[in-house]
Chains A and B, each alone.
Chain A
Amino acid sequence: MIGPEYAAALDPFTREAKELVRKSPPLDKMPQKITDLAVERVKWRSGRDMVVNFDIEAVRADIFSFYLTCQAIAAVSYPYSRESRLVSDATRETIKYRMYDLFKRGYEELCLEVVQRSFKFLQLERDDGAKLGNVEIPREDYFRLRDRRLAEDGVEIVDDRVLVQYIPKYAVRWTDLALLLKHRRVELTKLYLVNGWAVITPRELWDLFAGFISVKTEEYIASVYERFSDTGAPSKLLTDIGERIVSLLPPEIGLRERFARVPPGRLRPEFFPPCVKKALAGVGSGARNYAVTVLLTSFLSYARVSPSGRAVSRMADFIGDISVVRNEIAPLIFESAERCNPPLFKDQPQEKANIFYHLGFGMVLEPRLEDSGKSKWYRTPNCNKIAIATPALCDPDEFCKKIKNPLTYYYRQLAEHSRLRAGD
């Protein structure tokens, strides 16, 4: 007998999951088994590990550990970082396998019941020709869609059991895929759209739904990160679990990241994202405060000091000399403020102290290392926030499509450059 709470094993954001979380033990009373599972789940490779038994205890353990993993990553990293991506990718693979497994075992209806809470969908009737609205789907398109998907997956020889996963069977409303479109996990031009419906195969249904949960996971991590930014340092248990997860990052990625990040020092303006370049060049009156005090101050300080992957609260934990702030970071910010039209400090001289406040030194004009931590060291806003706050700054290039935070743009550009140089 499968209880209704099993929906949580497929979608950890369902009301059933939230109800379980509401009744979870406090963090300091969380069983060791759960905290270990929070670390283990990001390295699951085998389907046997991913599958959740139909009993309530198994579902509870799965949900508690999922939320612990997300909160732990938010405690030690920043949104859309490689660490967050590690968790969201693992979640996607887990959900996809669970869907596949349930379909295989004859629980298709259970999966569809959970899916339809997020996506409006239809089951296509093939024998007498499926119609979407007034349009009949040509039979040859079924085969072309099947073959395209087989080719994409690199599948050449298929038996009947596998083949059925590649034959169009459902249609979902394309507008329900907005979250996936927003994060470019789905490309509109790759969907087969008729009358507002995207025709998909069972395999695509698993992919889309797992991708959807993966994006929601990333957004959840971002929301927890913001909560920690507002309320102060997260608990030690979370940072400990977070550090354990970070240590699991595949070595080749770790190597690439080290290549990119070290030495935390010389800034490479050629790899800055377009919004930062615009802000550095000076902006007009409507965008000045945001461009200088919010974006440049956080971006340049984090890019220069490069503290990612560890719990970050004070700059003094990462630098030993205040000259980094006074002689390297602050002059760049101040020069950009002067380039604004009108110059920012001309009519708002108090913004100078506000910049040091945003760097975590409190409202001072001459920061000292020991002042570090007097205020919050503000983190770099995500792209969507920048686009909403100051659309004039956001002029995305091709690379911007791959990232969601200006810092990630910078780190990835550095990483790619290092990789290319290593290739030379």
Chain B
Amino acid sequence: MQLREATPEERLQFYKEEWNKRDLPDFILHTLSLREFGFDLDGTGPSHRYNQFMTVEQLADFLRNKAPYAAYASVALYEQPSMRKGWLKSELVFDVDAKDLPLKSCSCVGGAVCEQCLNEARQVAIQFAETMRSDLDLHNINFVFSGRGFHIRVTDESVMAFEQAERAQLVEYITGCVIPTDVTITLGYSRVFRGRVARTFERLDEQRLLQVHGMRNALAQQLVKERERVLTAIRAGRLSDLENYNGMGPKTFRNLLEFFIRLNSEFTDGKVTIDTKRILRLPSSLHSGVSMKCMLVRDMERFSIEEAAPKFVRERMQ
């Protein structure tokens, strides 16, 4: 599917003929009047901020009249959204952007994305949500396809009052970017860490491994050649097995672990998670940069980006 920019006419067609208030997720619809809305009217950036809509009809009128290049709503709820004052609480958000994945199997560069890297971003989002459910007992987890990746938007009351510091700790936990004191513990963070390191190692090639300070060619080749054996050791918490490889001194081993955690941390943009006043692309709106609908995803396992293609794109393809 070709992901090209939408024209002003296509935007107008989308908002006049296709946009429907029923596509707004409940978690936004029920708190609409408490959110700040922002718009990028002409593709120059979301500079039209501090908007408040008391009803969904007001929002609908605005979208149909202006056909904005992009529409956003705050993750925060405010007493006075139009002044961004009286912060009440914020969704917990993880942004998994396909274009920013540190490891991907496609050859997309710059801001480009394809179905393959979008699929990889989808898998990462599923993993993150699984940890939130099993370890943190969070259950109001919403997935939104953003156009270039996925937003995980958590609306459990128990985390919505969290400030930046608590959210920063959640980023560390969910991404697996801290080395645990005991990697062999069966459950809890040690399990998360092993899973994340295994996922990262699975996608590493020799060239990337050579970026580890002190890593020699022969060792990188051997690790890649014996990928399955290494993965088994990581998943079983026997990281020390890696130290037994020829040429893997304690320093290189340490550097390798630090390389893993750096890559782990790059699977999501932590700044988005800790920013309690962020505006995020509005589900139901058009991502004009790629001509895709930003939409709530009800079934992540079966989601295909074709579901997010607006009518004008489907017509274009025919």
Contacts and interface: CB of A to CB of B under 8 A. Distances in A.
A264 B87 CA distance: 38
B181 interface: yes
A293 B277 CA distance: 22
Contacts of B173: 188-189, 193
B169 A174 contact: no
A189 B187 contact: no
A182 B135 contact: no
Contact of B186 (A138, A387, A388): A138
A181 B158 CA distance: 14
B172 interface: yes
B163 A384 contact: yes
A255 interface: no
Contacts of A197: 137
Interface in B124-150: 134-138
Counting from the closest, the 3 A-B pairs by CB-CB distance are A196-B137, A192-B188, A175-B158
B165 interface: yes
Contacts of B163: 182, 384, 387
- Secondary structure type dominating chain B contacts: loop
B136 A148 contact: no
Interface stretch (A139-147, A316-324, A354-362): A139-147
Given A188-B169, A193-B135, A194-B135, A387 B189 contact: no
B166 interface: yes
Contacts of A192: 185, 187-189
A148 B181 contact: yes
Contacts of B185: 141, 144-145, 148, 192
B188 A182 contact: no
A141 B181 contact: no
Interface in A372-416: 384, 387-388, 391, 394, 396, 401
A190 interface: yes
B178 interface: yes
B301 interface: no
Contacts of A199: 188
22 contacts: A133-B137, A135-B134, A138-B186, A141-B187, A148-B181, A178-B162, A184-B165, A187-B169, A187-B172, A188-B169, A188-B172, A188-B189, A189-B180, A193-B188, A193-B189, A194-B134, A196-B135, A196-B136, A387-B164, A387-B276, A391-B276, A396-B164
Best-buried of B158, B164, B170 by chain A (most CB within 10 Å): B164
Best-buried of A147, A188, A384, A387 by chain B (most CB within 10 Å): A188
Given A184-B165, A195-B135, A199-B188, 4 more contacts: A144-B182, A178-B161, A182-B166, A387-B163
A140 B165 contact: no
B95 to A, nearest CB: 16
A388 B87 contact: yes
A178 B166 CA distance: 7
A155 interface: no
A56 interface: no
Contacts of A188: 169-170, 172-173, 189
B172 A189 contact: yes
Interface string B173-204: 10000101110111111000100000000000
B266 interface: no
Contact of B277 (A137, A141, A145, A391): A391
A194 B182 CA distance: 16
Interface residues of B, number: 32
B275 interface: yes
A131 to B, nearest CB: 12
A181 B137 CA distance: 17
A406 to B, nearest CB: 15
Contact of B184 (A144, A184, A190): A144
Interface string A162-186: 0000000000001100100111100
Nearest to A388: B87
Best-buried of B134, B135, B173 by chain A (most CB within 10 Å): B135
Contacts of B277: 391
Best-buried of B136, B161, B276 by chain A (most CB within 10 Å): B136
Given A194-B135, A194-B187, A148 B166 contact: no
A211 to B, nearest CB: 14
A262 interface: no
B165 A391 contact: no
A191 interface: yes
A185 to B, nearest CB: 11
Given A187-B169, A188-B172, A141 B186 contact: yes
A183 B188 contact: no
A154 B100 CA distance: 43
A174 B187 contact: no
Contacts of B212: none
B159 interface: yes
B189 A181 contact: no
A391 B136 CA distance: 27
A148 B181 CA distance: 8
A209 B158 CA distance: 19
A194 B170 CA distance: 15
B188 A194 contact: yes
B187 A181 contact: no
Contacts of B134: 135, 194-195
Interface in A186-239: 187-197, 199
A263 B88 CA distance: 43
A394 B277 CA distance: 12
Contacts of A178: 161-162, 166
B192 to A, nearest CB: 8
Interface in A110-169: 133, 135, 137-138, 140-141, 144-145, 147-148, 152
A183 B165 contact: yes
Contact of B159 (A175, A193, A396): A175
Nearest to B277: A391
B38 to A, nearest CB: 12
A140 B166 contact: no
A140 B186 contact: yes
A196 B224 CA distance: 37
Contact of B189 (A140, A175, A189): A189
A181 B178 contact: no
B84 to A, nearest CB: 9
Contacts of A388: 87, 276
A325 B84 CA distance: 34
A138 B159 CA distance: 28
